[in-house]
Amino acid sequence: MTSVMSPLEGRAIGLAAVPDPVFSGAMVGPGTAIDPVREPSVAVAPVDGVVVSLHPHAFVVVDGEGHGVLTHLGIDTVQLNGEGFELLVNKGDTVTRGQEVVRWNPAAVEAAGKSPICPVVALEAIPDALSGLVEDGDVKAGDALFTWK
């Protein structure tokens, strides 16, 4: 079992509330989403593992059981071409849960006309594979979001 923690402080809103049909329809995988606090912050690794994909706006960490967890910083933020995002690790790095991965500013993303909402998705998982899914309420970085059974 893998416990997946929140990479950010904010409010859990669930994938259905994400303003993007790919995420809200759970086409990428099941999970939840965080509406982040609107201040400069750092997204942290949601699990212990290896950074297998790393972009300014999104990263994937795969744990020792082969579970990949996607953290996507905002919606359509790929269109910002990395502006306002600072990578703090490299692809291929081994990270520990809570380790800083990307520095960013959700308020600046919003000011650029993009949604700062952040899906946190269990890649290639079936919906029944998750338990304890948090879809509402305030969360801090490090709070449990769901468990991958």
Give the active site residues.
Answer: 72
Alpha helices in 1-133 (DSSP H): 21-24, 106-111
Q: For residues 91 and 20, what is the distance between their CA atoms, to the nearest angstrom? A: 26
First vs last C-alpha separation in the chain: 5
R_g of the chain, CA atoms, integer Å: 14
